[in-house]
Amino acid sequence: MGEPGTSEVMNLEDLEAASGFRTGRRHILSIVVENKPGVLARIAGLFARRGFNIESLAVGPTDDPAISRVTLTVDGGLHPIDQVTKQLHKLINVIKIRDLEPEDTVARELALFKVSVDDQARDQVMQFAEIFRGTVVDVSRRSMTIEITGTDEKIAAFEKMVRPLGLIELVRTGEIAVARGRSAT
């Protein structure tokens, strides 16, 4: 490629288009927002209006009370992530967005499983809980509640184990994540 002022020009065939298209994987977006009224409604509204689907969503304060963090996961097989992040950036209250790379990210979610048990199943559930490093947080004569913390996959795996025993309900917090290493997310 020539310098400006020279007549050397570029070959159009060599140009590659910037892709605005499907990546095919799940994305965790970590979004730093101003802690202002209506911020979450703006984000949720944007997703609804543009036809993007939120898989999971977690919101919480940060060390700075003026700033909150929203972590949401989106399916990059269904949605153009590039468009999703650019549209999010247009929201005035959105300060920063990081599309976390799966290899460089620690992601966790907390789930509460309420399982129906009889005397026999109770032992089995306790065994599963131990294998998954879960905690029994409530017991009644005919039910048990287990807390599991981990990745999406781990929670799904535990669900597979206890569902046949009689899952009464499952409540999840939505994933939160940080980038690995020293730098801030």
Partner 1 sequence: MRAVDAIMESLKAEGVDVVFGIPGGANLPTYDALYDAGIRHVLCRHEQGAGHAAEGFAKATGRVGVALATSGPGATNLVTAIADAVMDSVPTVFLTGQVRTDLMGTDGFQEADITGITLPIVKHSFQVADPREIPERLHEAFHIARSGRPGPVLVDIPQDLSRADINYEPSDAIALPGYRPTTDGNVKQIRLAAKALANARRPVIYAGGGVINAEGSEELRELCASDRFPVTCTLMGLGAFPAPHDQWLGMLGMHGTRAANYAMDEADLICCIGARFDDRITGKLSEFAPRAKFIHIDIDPAEISKNVPAHIPIVGDAKLIVSKLTREYRALETDSSRLDGWWERIQAWRERHPLGYTDSEDSEIKPQYMVEAMFEATDGQAIITSDVGQHQMWAAQYYHFCRPRQWINSGGLGTMGFGLPSALGAQIGCPDQTVVCLAGDGSLQMNSQELATCVAEKIPVKIFLMNNGFLGMVRQWQELFWDKRYSQVDMGTLPDWVKLAEAYGATGMRATEKGTLVEQMREALATDGPVVLDVQVTKEENCYPMIPAGAAARDMVG
Note the residues at the interface with partner 1 (CB under 8 A): 1-2, 4-12, 15-21, 33-34, 37-38, 41-42, 45-46, 49, 82-83, 86-87, 89-96
Looking at the Cβ atoms of 64 and 169, the one nearer to partner 1 is 64
Instruction: Kindly report the backbone phi and psi dihedral angles of residue 113, in degrees, each rounded to the nearest multiple of 5, phi listed first.
Output: -110, 120
Looking at the Cβ atoms of 38 and 181, the one nearer to partner 1 is 38
Q: How far is the CB of 9 from partner 1 (least distance, A)?
A: 4
- What b/e readout covers 124-159, taking b as 16+ CB neighbours within 10 angstroms? ebbebbeebebeeeeeeeebbbbebebebebbeebe
Nearest by Cα to 113 from 125, 121, 123: 125
Contact status, residue 180 vs residue 104, Cβ threshold 8 Å: yes
d(CA 116, CA 136): 13
Listed in sequence order, the DSSP H helices in 109-173 are: 119-131, 152-166
Q: How far is the CB of 160 from partner 1 (least distance, A)?
A: 39
Q: How far is the CB of 78 from partner 1 (least distance, A)?
A: 16
Q: How far is the CB of 174 from partner 1 (least distance, A)?
A: 22
Looking at the Cβ atoms of 2 and 181, the one nearer to partner 1 is 2
Q: What is the DSSP letter of 160?
A: H
Q: How far is the CB of 159 from partner 1 (least distance, A)?
A: 35
Looking at the Cβ atoms of 47 and 128, the one nearer to partner 1 is 47
Looking at the Cβ atoms of 17 and 184, the one nearer to partner 1 is 17
